[in-house]
């Protein structure tokens, strides 16, 4: 990670109001190439609103979002996905009755060439199976068959499918929203390893998490959100967990630098 590099994804002065409630109040954000950036904050700090703005789920009332230094406007999650920003949501958004391969290509199904695909809209199932296996193998997710339905998998394996889908199609950023929530120790370890592997492939990761030990284990920097704004942005190795919690809660100021 190069702290002098141009941010891959950046937010400047982001504002979002819901009636009389201001969820984001001039929020700044920056994600550098090749880093895992944790976003933490107390409930109501505005971190979910920030992530929704960056992933296209909401449109800020004010402010600017930049991707590779160029201003972008997302009118929905599909716009963000077209720009190579993939999000793994806490509810995973997987289809339990479909196979692993079908889930990996959900909404991006590969059609057969020629009339079979264009006229009869037939799927290239063998190709999708091969590519699904390659994606899962690349992330070292040990699953027996790509023809298994997702409902037969453990929680950690399901999370692995969702992560593999995002990593397969992301060109710029992978956003992970509470990826270890409701997982046991072994499955959480698997997901943390997946996050590290995504970074090793050169993709920066935004990690939203309440699990402070996980944040301190895998992140390079920490964005602490408070009262709708960024309280501080700090290198993980230069802050303690108690100090991070103190800034989150307002017990101390965010007078630290990344």
Contact between residue 128 and residue 120 where contact means Cβ atoms under 8 Å apart: no
CATH architecture of 1-84+174-179+205-258: 3-Layer(aba) Sandwich (3.40)
The per-residue pLDDT for 111 is 79
Under DSSP, the state recorded for 174 is E
More confident residue, 92 or 61: 61
The per-residue pLDDT for 2 is 64
The per-residue pLDDT for 237 is 96
Per-residue 3-state assignment (H helix, E strand, C coil) for 207-218? EECCCHHHHHHH
The per-residue pLDDT for 215 is 97
DSSP string, 12-77: EEEEEEETTEEEEEEEEEEE-TT-EEEEEE-TTSSHHHHHHHHTTSS--SEEEEEETTEEE--SSH
pLDDT in tens, 172-187: 999 999 888 877 888 8
Instruction: Give 120's pLDDT tier (boundaries 50, 70, 90).
Output: low
Distance of alpha carbon 100 from alpha carbon 106, whole angstroms: 10
- Cβ burial of 34 (10 Å; 0-12, 13-18, 19+) is middle
Instruction: Give 1's pLDDT tier (boundaries 50, 70, 90).
Output: low
The per-residue pLDDT for 247 is 95
pTM of the full predicted structure?
0.86
Token duo for residue 193: 């390893």
Q: Is 178 left (phi over 0), alpha (psi -120 to 50) or beta?
A: left
Q: Helix 155-169 vs helix 185-200: angle between axes, to the nearest 10 degrees?
A: 10
pLDDT in tens, 6-63: 999 999 999 999 999 999 999 999 999 999 999 999 989 999 999 999 999 999 999 9
Q: Where are the domains of the chain?
A: 1-84+174-179+205-258
Distance of alpha carbon 56 from alpha carbon 78, whole angstroms: 7
Helix and strand tally (H, E) in the chain? 9, 10
Q: To the nearest whole percent, how much of the chain has pLDDT over 90? A: 52
Under DSSP, the state recorded for 106 is T
Distance of alpha carbon 39 from alpha carbon 194, whole angstroms: 18
Q: To the nearest whole percent, how much of the chain has pLDDT over 70? A: 93
Token duo for residue 74: 């997302």
* Residue keyed to tokens 């716009």: 79
The per-residue pLDDT for 194 is 87
* Residue keyed to tokens 């004010």: 62
More confident residue, 119 or 164: 164
Token duo for residue 84: 């190579």
Distance of alpha carbon 43 from alpha carbon 234, whole angstroms: 20
More confident residue, 145 or 140: 145
């Amino acid at each position: 990670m190069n702290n002098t590099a141009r941010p891959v994804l950046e937010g400047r002065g982001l504002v979002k109001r819901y009636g009389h409630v201001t969820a984001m109040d001039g929020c700044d954000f920056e994600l550098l190439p090749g880093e895992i950036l944790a976003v933490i904050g107390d409930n109501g700090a505005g971190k979910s609103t920030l992530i929704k703005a960056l992933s296209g789920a909401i449109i800020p009332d004010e402010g600017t979002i930049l991707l590779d230094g160029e201003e972008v406007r997302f009118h929905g999650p599909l716009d963000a996905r077209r720009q190579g920003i993939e999000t793994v949501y806490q509810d995973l958004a997987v289809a339990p009755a479909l196979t692993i391969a079908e889930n990996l290509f959900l909404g991006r199904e590969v059609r057969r060439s020629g009339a079979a695909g264009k006229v009869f809209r037939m799927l290239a199932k063998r190709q999708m199976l091969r590519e699904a296996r390659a994606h899962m193998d690349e992330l070292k997710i040990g699953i027996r068959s790509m023809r298994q339905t997702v409902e037969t998998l453990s929680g950690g394996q399901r999370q692995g499918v969702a992560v593999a889908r995002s990593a397969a199609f992301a060109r710029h950023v992978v956003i992970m929203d509470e990826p270890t929530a409701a997982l046991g120790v072994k499955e959480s370890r698997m997901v943390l390893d997946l996050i590290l592997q995504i970074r090793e492939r050169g993709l920066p990761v935004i990690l939203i998490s309440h699990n402070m030990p996980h944040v301190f284990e895998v992140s390079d920097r920490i964005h602490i959100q408070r009262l709708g704004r960024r309280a501080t942005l700090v290198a993980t190795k230069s802050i303690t967990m108690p100090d991070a919690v103190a800034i989150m809660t307002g017990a101390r100021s965010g007078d630290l630098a990344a």
